[in-house]
Structure 1
């Protein structure tokens, strides 16, 4: 178990900055959080205000740790801990339910690096990691019938998980309810009575609703796009999406085959408790909209754990068949090591690529106003995650400058871009550009963005992996840095290199 938890850290050891899609944008916010009180540049461009909301996990951890060891090392340390805690939670849950670890649990562990994590939903991923650990404790205390102790402990635990991210708290509630419903049914109660008793037990997790109501009164972001079945199917088959389409799809297919094998094999079965838990999560996935409180892909984030819980449910029907167990152990371990190796290689490739792209910032002075434009592939051509989509956030991290990749989500974000001259080029997705041949409404074609951004509001234009573009649209701008897939232009006549101090 210790080896499997440690193995979960391996893919993130090499990259100096975890190359997760949204993380670099979040890191810009962390820099403002840490230094807006002392930086004259950050004060000019941003406003930051702490508020109570269900989306604060990594932000709160960065505050002390960033001051102690620096922002970038702090982020790396926190992000490495997330898949390790996720794996530890999965193993604890499996052991509490099966009273031992079936070899097939190793099929579930790669989902710690599912699409939700690689996309950089770090507050959500942290909340789910804590929810899984809390669920292991919930099951243990329930098995020992220490209900009063459990109720007392899970009031503060529910607030902790909710503060990290609302979705993780909601997931913990579903896990606790489904497990207790099955436990009560196994003790001879009917399903209706079991569900009622389970709801009463899970009610100790409900107090953060008061914080949620206050948050919603202050805005809290929008909720929309219900029952988008095309998007939900996309969320299913991209559950292990990383870089190599065929391998990622084959990996998902292998887990589906393992689940079917367990269903039809006479010596294998599925735990009723974990199967019911997976079905409850699947129902939530079907019912949730794409956007909740301004957070996108709300339904997609559940899918890795729907699959993981089905896989964690696999067990031997009666006594262990050691010949079959050895075969399953070898296959499962091979799968786990192969997925770990592929994610490690993928993140290393992304880290090397980002290191090249970030070299352009060495030519940018402190406090500069930088328009970042990042090319994204057409949907029908791209599979690899566009990990540079929020690379502009590093302008804030390393140069305390203005960038245009932060999210506009009133009531659901701590940071606000207050630099009015940038207009609609203040927020995401203004940093994303596409080839005009892509049949998409968003993002804008690269030449449209180059022709329409407010030149007086920026000092530099930083193009990352752009499609073919017309440099004449930049007029007399000077190309001061060029590398593989990266161009940095200084606009002329040059704007002031930085706002005045004081």
Structure 2
């Protein structure tokens, strides 16, 4: 018998360019660009958080803060950045530490998307690149930093859960995941809910593949598997027992849920943001219907679960607003990451990946330009504080959200930087009632100007662009002058406003003005 001819050497499969190990780091690097040109992250509610961190860090050594604020640590599912800022601020300074944390949140989210895609598909898919658009979506732009940190951590913990499933060391694994789930809950309770939904969907699909007909036993098996991530339920019960008064409402507000969907990618440009959202919806539809794609069952179940939660949850829950619609980006991230192309659509995959990268880059450029403009405006408005004394009390007034155009001015909580720079009191912080906040405003307690939303001027939507002189004069007249030293107008063109009796104008630019009350 002859010697068999040697077989031709097989070439290793060619890795698609979008599956390169450099793509996710590249997306992460791109996501930092908007922050290169700013000193203050223009994330709406985050500006108020930065003021709260000043009280958290310096209440004990500042008599001015002590007469204006009260701050008490308590176990709540909303402590993410509060815990991070404590070690970072003494090293970097408060405002620089806040800037660094804001920059890091999209990095965490994008890296988590990449990990989940590789854990469940074995590759980074073009659809996962499109999911990265949502790493800086509207909840992030609103400044829901604890929520976004909690969700990013939940995605990372879920990726680790998938990666370690079936491996030895079950006791140690359970202990580590119990601890990780508690950390996610501490960052934000809704992040923990995201983790439970994803882990539950994953284990449901694992059990269904083995014994789809044995429902009672399957439920028991699932609970035995996921119990480590359920441990924070105890923390949730303890938290809510102590804060039963937290408001919950706005059930089945379909109009707001639809508006939340439209606003999912809201940022700088209505056309870019709306077209990006429509493209994401188109990719979801194509991925679910095409024969050239495959859908990961656990992520599909997870996305469907988030959609159901959005429809069933109230708009306000445990004192947190937008409780339902803040899940829209999570739905899109999970839904898009669930989809992977088959080998039959190599060319189509390249097109989708190229479009996804292009849209991401365009959105980052638009965001960077917008962020730089915000920062320039902030720097200009904050010049008003240069002659404000330490410990002053400032009544901030600005236009209500109903007057905002698509590209919002993002000054609703800019006044809180007076806390950082002057240990001042401002009326735009949230009150601690309801258990969501650790800070309690004291200086104007008992008046209508002690906390958010007292900074908003009551303007009918149709009057937003009209003459505000009469409206402002009426609102300023309501400010208790025994409690406040200054009035700071933001997002208001004060050039045409008459000087009101009892006020001295100290500063004015194109969109803000500072007045002092004449006392004595």
> What is the TM-score when the length of structure 2 is the normalising length?
0.89
2:176 equivalent in structure 1? 153
Tell me the secondary structure at the aligned position of residue 378 of structure 1.
helix
Q: 1:356, 1:484 within 8 Å by CA — same for their partners in 2?
A: no
1:287 equivalent in structure 2? 312
CA distance in 2, matches of 1:168, 1:218: 21
Q: 1:369, 1:460 within 8 Å by CA — same for their partners in 2?
A: yes
> Residues 60-459 of structure 1 correspond to what in structure 2 (within 5 A)?
60-142=83-165, 144=167, 147-190=170-213, 192=215, 193-219=217-243, 221-317=246-342, 319=343, 321-376=345-400, 378=402, 382-410=405-433, 411-420=435-444, 423-436=447-460, 438=462, 445-459=471-485
Select the residue among 498, 501, 506 that pairs with 1:480. 506
CA distance in 1, matches of 2:179, 2:368: 36
CA distance in 2, matches of 1:474, 1:226: 43
Q: 2:494, 2:512 within 8 Å by CA — same for their partners in 1?
A: no
In structure 2, runs of 5+ residues without a counterpart are 1-23, 465-469
Q: Go from structure 1 to structure 2 and tell me whether the alpha carbon gap of 1:477 and 1:5 turns closer, same or farther (over 3 Å shift).
A: same
1:10 equivalent in structure 2? 33
Select the residue among 477, 480, 486 that pairs with 1:460. 486
In structure 1, runs of 5+ residues without a counterpart are 495-502
Tell me the secondary structure at the aligned position of residue 432 of structure 1.
coil
Q: What root-mean-square deviation, in Å, do the aligned CA atoms of Structure 1 and Structure 2 show?
A: 2.2
Q: Go from structure 1 to structure 2 and tell me whether the alpha carbon gap of 1:324 and 1:35 turns closer, same or farther (over 3 Å shift).
A: same
Q: How much does 1:86 deviate? A: 0.6
Larger radius of gyration: 2
Q: 1:239, 1:252 within 8 Å by CA — same for their partners in 2?
A: yes
Q: 1:178, 1:277 within 8 Å by CA — same for their partners in 2?
A: yes
CA distance in 1, matches of 2:267, 2:185: 28
CA distance in 2, matches of 1:208, 1:32: 28
Work out the number of aligned pairs and report it.
489
Deviations 1:134-190 (A, max 9, x none): 010011112547654432211101110111111101111111001111122233544
Q: Go from structure 1 to structure 2 and tell me whether the alpha carbon gap of 1:439 and 1:203 turns closer, same or farther (over 3 Å shift).
A: farther
Q: Go from structure 1 to structure 2 and tell me whether the alpha carbon gap of 1:434 and 1:164 turns closer, same or farther (over 3 Å shift).
A: same
Q: Which moved more, 1:467-476 or 1:62-71?
A: 467-476
> What is the TM-score when the length of structure 1 is the normalising length?
0.92
Deviations 1:61-104 (A, max 9, x none): 11111122210011111111111001111110011110111122
Q: 1:374, 1:432 within 8 Å by CA — same for their partners in 2?
A: yes
CA distance in 2, matches of 1:286, 1:472: 48
Q: How much does 1:320 deviate? A: 5.2
CA distance in 1, matches of 2:157, 2:481: 51
Deviations 1:31-68 (A, max 9, x none): 00111111110011111111111111101111111122
Tell me the secondary structure at the aligned position of residue 506 of structure 2.
strand
Q: Go from structure 1 to structure 2 and tell me whether the alpha carbon gap of 1:252 and 1:53 turns closer, same or farther (over 3 Å shift).
A: same
**Stretches (4+) displaced over 6 A:** 467-470
CA distance in 2, matches of 1:480, 1:161: 46
Q: How much does 1:454 deviate? A: 0.7
Tell me the secondary structure at the aligned position of residue 37 of structure 1.
helix
Q: Go from structure 1 to structure 2 and tell me whether the alpha carbon gap of 1:232 and 1:191 turns closer, same or farther (over 3 Å shift).
A: farther
